Amino acid sequence: MSATWWCLRKPRGAAMKHSKVVGGSTAKRVMNCPGSVALVAQMPPQPESKYAAEGTLLHSCIEAALGDEDLGDVIALNRLSDEQAAKLQYCVDALDTIDPDQEMVFRQEARVGFEGVKGLEGVFGSVDLIGKLGARTIVLDWKFGDGVMVDAEENAQALFYAAAAMHTAETAWAFLDTNEIEVVIVQPPQTRRWVTTKARVLQFMADLKAAVHAAKQPDAKLAVGDWCRWCAAKPVCPQMTGEIDRAVHVSLELLSAERLGAALALAERLESFIADARALAHARLEKDMPVPGYKLVAKRATRQWIDEAKAAEALLTLNIPRTEIFKEELLSPAQAEKVLKKSKLALPDDLVVAVSSGSTLAPESDPRPAVLNLGKQLTQALSKLQ
């Protein structure tokens, strides 16, 4: 780091968790689907994924690096990969950008809760960094995952931390004499920022309180949305399983043929639109023209011989049987037909049968004939094989 911040740092080694009812990471789900609280309570503990474990490690590392330990020492001590080290360096640089003059006073990994707030008793969470920079309160969240990009605007997790920190004695100082609150999401290689007001945070707290109250009711609402992504109760959620069940067990006889036909026609137009949109986006990105929210990534790599002749020779010198290296197969009917044409010979009809691998949808105007009943088609094919 280029300088030293005023850092009010909690004692190391304290295990920080959020309350069972709701926490920062679950606030959006509980507020949109209060019924999920009771369902999640029935589920067994979820094992920690390797991605979560990496996130925990990097959170601990950035906490140390922003405290009293050298970044290089932290990287070496934890045996971080080059990619992980780059993420930590990005986080330090991001904080330099947010606070270039090193004037911010902040606290890391602070447990925050709703002290004295009726209806939110026992609700708490752990904020990555809460700080004060002039007349602005900073609520910062480190995100080390690469899959889902997190927005700062109206971020329920950050609003939860802001509201809880505002009502926690040990962090209330960050809100004294400030007139705005900035939410910062640092997710290498991007930083997202959003400025809001104390009034918005207090309104969020009121909405959270209503959701927690609703979650305690026996008929608490269940709702499907993007908040379901990390919900442990998906396998038993009536909303999720109900949608699947309805789709699987729908009676084909009760479907309107007219509506289904119209839907297929619309789907065909949409598929064309989607294909064109993706092709256009790909072309723009190839020319280094931005498409917000998207990027080009390499496809899965497959191994190939650099020189097939040299590879074969090398394998044979390893005493691997030639029959294990070179596979000989009968030509396909199409390949055999090409060979026979060179000698002006025809492929005997009784040697070949055409069996479709299945069926596909097509409009009535398609010149191809409608497929026969599967049983009849198989009977005809088998009759040639006998």
What CATH number is associated with residue 17? 3.90.320
Say if 344 falls within a structural domain: yes
Q: Which residue has the higher pLDDT, 240 or 126?
A: 126
Cis before 189? omega within 30: yes
So what's the pLDDT on residue 357? 63
Residue 372's pLDDT band (cuts 50, 70, 90): low
| Nearest partner of 204 among 166, 247, 148, judged by Cα | 166
Residues 200, 72 share a domain: yes
Give the total number of structural domains in the chain. 2
Residue 1's pLDDT band (cuts 50, 70, 90): very low
Say if 270 falls within a structural domain: no
Residue 43: which domain range?
Answer: 6-228
Say if 18 falls within a structural domain: yes
Average of pLDDT values for 156-166? 96
So what's the pLDDT on residue 296? 78
Structure token digits, residue 343: 């000698």
Tokens 């991007």 belong to residue? 190
Given 164, 199, 228, which residue is the final one in a domain?
228
So what's the pLDDT on residue 370? 67
Whether the pLDDT of residue 246 is over 70: the answer is: no
Given 209, 228, 247, which residue is the final one in a domain?
228
Whether the pLDDT of residue 135 is over 70: the answer is: yes
Residues 214, 116 share a domain: yes
Whether the pLDDT of residue 384 is over 70: the answer is: no
What is the distance between the alpha carbons of residues 377 and 359, in angstroms, rounded to a whole number?
A: 12
So what's the pLDDT on residue 83? 92
Say if 295 falls within a structural domain: no
Instruction: Give pLDDT tens digits for 304-316.
Output: 778 888 877 877 8
Structure token digits, residue 5: 């911040």
Are 175 and 217 in contact, with CB atoms under 8 Å apart? no
Q: Is 79 left (phi over 0), alpha (psi -120 to 50) or beta?
A: left
Instruction: Give pLDDT tens digits for 62-84.
Output: 999 998 889 999 999 999 999 99
Taking all residues of the chain, what is their mean pLDDT, rounded to a whole number?
A: 81
Most confident of 8-12, 143-147, 178-182: 178-182
Residues 163, 26 share a domain: yes
Residues 207, 64 share a domain: yes
Given 228, 257, 282, which residue is the final one in a domain?
228
Q: Which residue has the higher pLDDT, 360 or 350?
A: 350
Say if 254 falls within a structural domain: no
**What's this model's pTM, rounded to 2 decimal places?**
0.62
Q: What is the DSSP string of 109-170?
A: EEEEE-TT-TT-TT-EEEEEEEEEETTEEEEEEE---SSS----TT-HHHHHHHHHHHT-TT
Say if 246 falls within a structural domain: no
Say if 253 falls within a structural domain: no
Residues 313, 211 share a domain: no
Residues 321, 196 share a domain: no
Say if 196 falls within a structural domain: yes
| Nearest partner of 127 among 72, 90, 175, judged by Cα | 175
CA dihedral 240, 243, 247, 251 (to 10 degrees): 140
So what's the pLDDT on residue 9? 43
So what's the pLDDT on residue 16? 45
* Mode of pairing for the β-strands spanning 190-196 and 180-187: antiparallel
Q: Which residue has the higher pLDDT, 287 or 96?
A: 96
Residues 219, 79 share a domain: yes
Are 124 and 18 in contact, with CB atoms under 8 Å apart? yes
Residues 348, 222 share a domain: no
In sequence order, the 6+-apart residues with CB closer than 8 A to the CB of 206 are none
Instruction: Give pLDDT tens digits for 265-282.
Output: 767 766 766 777 787 787
